[in-house]
Homo-oligomer: A and B are copies of this chain.
Amino acid sequence: MTQAATSVHEIQENLPGPRVLLADGAPITLESGAELGPVAVAYQTWGTLNAERSNAILICHALTGDQFAVGIHPITGKEGWWERMVGPGKPIDTDRFYVICPNCLGGCMGTTGPAAINPETGELYGTSFPLITIRDMVNVQAMLMDQLGIEKIMSVVGGSMGGMQVLEWAARHGDRVVSAVPIAGAARHSAQNIAFHEVGRQAIMADPDWCDGFYYKEGKRPEAGLSVARMAAHITYLSEPALWRKFGRALQDRYTKSYGFDADFQVESYLRHQGASFVQRFDANAYLYITRAMDYFDLESEFGGDLANAWRNLSARFLLVSFTSDWLFPTSESKEVVRSLNRAGRNVSFVEVESDKGHDAFLLEEPDLFATTRGFLDSVARDLGV
């Protein structure tokens, strides 16, 4: 089953795992002022909530992630994107903690997004879906936590866009956050990152099969455009040293250059494969909406130009992690957050992990990340008596 083979909507309605309707299906108000409803949230959980309801860890996924952090992915058949981090005996230990990972608002894996039915028209939203923000995503997660009966969250953890959500949680729902772990994140999206996102969006919107966002009813999918968007983004997830180490200038299945436009170099076939496999599992409109939400994110400006103002009224402990070779969410962005937390007198740990794997490092084998996260969560759990 791939999203290409079946309608995006059909897939989203038939994914395994729990899915709840927020606010009994009543519309919710978005940051833009628009109303959206009904809103459903699809999520996965692992472990057991203790009697005190004090051992919940919320995982916020990245731009193209989803709720299937652990276990076989229902579309790709591959293992979850955070198997290394989450599970029995892992740093986020499902033998001790109750772990929840929801699909984000605007996503394409069961939570309401552009491929959901617009109740006003009875048709799929497409680009009639309202713009959403990181704040909206987090508000929806908070409503989910309410419905699950979880008032305080032992730790909110996430990488990349997930890290943005962690910061939003702490800034706007600080009374519910016992600890926060933003990994390879940022308190605002940089100009360069907005620029790369815009290239991806333009690639999608330039594809005639996008049909102004109403491709669902035309039975089309802007696969070429989405694939180009993914390829461009994928370069930004890796470091130049990682690309060089993995591929160098090695030729693909050939001893000599083809003198043509086939994928002569391994790095080309790798990118093409990334593009082609991505379109099997992701919806182009969701890509547009979620990238836009990231672009809009700017906690500093929302808190009067001083990020420290975001952290004045909370008691959460923080652990920030960045990676030396990450040029998409570089260490400098994490340090800005660390400095602001220090200005606000908060309890904050910061580790810059030595890695040549680029932004993707947060998804990969990074013992320093694992040991740091494990140590931090152990300590938070001990304080709570979990």
Q: Which of A239-284 contact B (CB under 8 A)?
A: 240, 243-244, 246-249, 257, 259-261, 263-265, 267-268, 271-272, 275
* Contact across chains for B131 and A259 when beta carbons are under 8 A apart: yes
* Contact across chains for A243 and B192 when beta carbons are under 8 A apart: yes
A117 cross-chain contacts in B, Cβ below 8 A: none
A34 cross-chain contacts in B, Cβ below 8 A: 259
* Contact across chains for B198 and A243 when beta carbons are under 8 A apart: no
Partner of A235, one of B127, B130, B196: B196
A265 cross-chain contacts in B, Cβ below 8 A: 191, 194, 198, 295
- A199 beta carbon closer than 8 Å to chain B: yes
In whole Å, how far is A336's beta carbon from the nearest beta carbon of chain B? 12
A202 cross-chain contacts in B, Cβ below 8 A: 227-228, 231, 271-272, 275
- A292 beta carbon closer than 8 Å to chain B: yes
A32 cross-chain contacts in B, Cβ below 8 A: 257, 259
Q: Which of A21-29, A63-71, A203-211, A367-375 contacts B (4 or more CB under 8 A)?
A: A203-211
Partner of A203, one of B191, B228, B257, B267: B228
Q: Given A231-B199, A265-B295, do A249 and B194 touch, yes or no (CB 8 Å)?
A: yes
Taken together as a complex, chains A and B put the C-alpha atoms of A201 and B265 apart, in Å, by: 14
Count copies of this chain in the complex.
Answer: 2
* Contact across chains for B261 and A292 when beta carbons are under 8 A apart: yes
6 sample A-B contacts, Cβ–Cβ < 8 Å, listed by A number: A190-B244, A195-B235, A198-B263, A249-B298, A249-B301, A265-B295
* Contact across chains for A243 and B195 when beta carbons are under 8 A apart: yes
- A158 beta carbon closer than 8 Å to chain B: no
- A296 beta carbon closer than 8 Å to chain B: yes
Contact with B along A72-114 (1 / 0, CB 8 A): 0000000000000000000000000000000000000000000
In whole Å, how far is A277's beta carbon from the nearest beta carbon of chain B? 15
